[in-house]
Amino acid sequence: MTQTSSALVVQGFVKVDKLLQNEYQALQRSNLTFGIETLDNALCLNFGQFIVFRGKTAHFLCTLLSVRATLPCPLGPDCNVLFVDGGNSFDPYAISDISVTQNLDGEYVLERFHVSRAFTHHQLACIITDKLSSAIRKFDAKLVVVSDITCLYCDPDVRDDDKEDAVRIFTKTVQALRALARQHHCLIITTSLKPRNSMMDSILERVAHVSINIEQRDGLAIASLKRQNFPPSTITFASHHQTLERFM
């Protein structure tokens, strides 16, 4: 009986370091890239992940990724993009301009985008929890972007006695995004352009598979990465990369 139990343990369980090694190896196969080698090697974006981009450059980076999502294989996944606009930041002109840098036709790229705008935090929560799943299936989207997710939850119009409820709804919404990424095997990225609420920032960081903040200092872009199951890391790359230089 003891020998049988030991055999089951050997066959059914592996050491934690082996699991982490397998996870790390899987992360090396990126489904979507920036076209910036240093950043791509550090991030390794995969379908099934929920990612948070922080800081002033977050919107540009998501726009770049969104455009590159329409690239034909093997350069990109050649997919439709869902853009949930929580910060009134969807910019078709920027998409067209970035398309040119990627040798893509701007009109064709814009046709691959499907946009839903929210004007209150309740609307944003409703879009994500009630409508996003069916939209992913309908448009066969492999990339979902939720722009400036904390903006509407921290709007001055949210009354003091509603702020606790806003945090509760925010938590539910963020957890739903992670679950949807896994359920539909798609990449979901949200941006947070500036710190507004420390509790919400903490929730984002805790729920996301990867959290990244990029700042510019003395001609360099410095990216601080926090990935679940891995220690925090920092990478530095030249911010004069031709795409970055033009739009950042």
pLDDT of residue 17: 58
Q: What is the mean pLDDT of residues 59-85?
A: 94
Q: In 3-state terms, what secondary structure has residue 146? A: strand
* Span 81-92, pLDDT tens digits: 999 999 999 999
The answer to whether 48 and 182 have CB atoms below 8 angstroms apart is yes
Backbone angles phi, psi at 8, to 5 degrees: -65, -40
**Across residues 66-71, what is the average pLDDT?**
96
**Whole-angstrom Cα distance, residue 170 to residue 193?**
16
pLDDT band, residue 248 (cuts 50/70/90) = low
CATH, domain range 45-212: 3.40.50.300
Residue 53 has pLDDT above 50, yes or no: yes
Query: What predicted TM-score, i.e. pTM, was given to this entire model?
Result: 0.84
> What are the sequence ranges of the domains in the chain?
45-212
pLDDT score recorded for residue 44: 87
Q: Enter the tokens of residue 37.
A: 């080698």
Task: State residue 72's pLDDT score.
Answer: 92
